[in-house]
Amino acid sequence: MDGDERLRLFCALLLPPGALDALVAWQERVLPKGAEGVRILAPQNLHVTLAFLGAVRRAEVPGIRGALEEAAEGAPAIVLSPVGYRETRSVGMIELSDREGRAEALALRLWDGLERLGVYEREERRWLPHVTVVRFKERPRLEPALPPLDRVVPSDAALMISRLRPSGAQYEVLESVSLGG
């Protein structure tokens, strides 16, 4: 593969299996199936985005992995809890509480490393921990009960690749690192 090849990349917290199972069951129970212009995200696409990088040269991947490893090293356990469902013009998401600020601290350390590499420019708005669960063409204005998740404790962060398909983006783990070192 050519080092100049561009990959659509982002960094994310991976959801533990129990949380993933609970979210998928919740999606099946409360989100509209088969509705025109509504796409429920597949289990492999459920995550908490830390940083969206966009199109990045393949040659940058080792440095990005290094920045992710550095940010994750020694990170204390992250505990997230669902606090609300929110819709933007094109997605529905479960907002998560990061009461101790550990996920945000990880995101900030990661952003610093990615900025030093020149592959990321931080957004002006504050980072919002969330899991996108549905995409739509027209906002359905849902008001579902929250998924039955008490605590979500991710153990891994990942460098993900986003492949655009006619049916929607498909995400795959390119590299993963353990949180805490």
- Percentage of residues of the chain with pLDDT beyond 70: 98
- Pick out the chain residues at pLDDT < 70: 1-3, 181
Would you state the pLDDT for residue 107?
A: 97
What pLDDT was estimated at residue 168? 80
Whether the full predicted model's pTM is greater than 0.75, yes or no, is yes
User: Residue 115's pLDDT is what?
Assistant: 97
Query: What sections of 73-126 are H helices per DSSP?
Result: 102-117
In angstroms, what CA-CA distances link 159 with 56, 87, 145? 12, 26, 31
pLDDT score for 3:
65
pLDDT of residue 1: 52
Give the containing element (helix H, strand E) for 29. helix 17-30
Give the pLDDT score at 166: 82
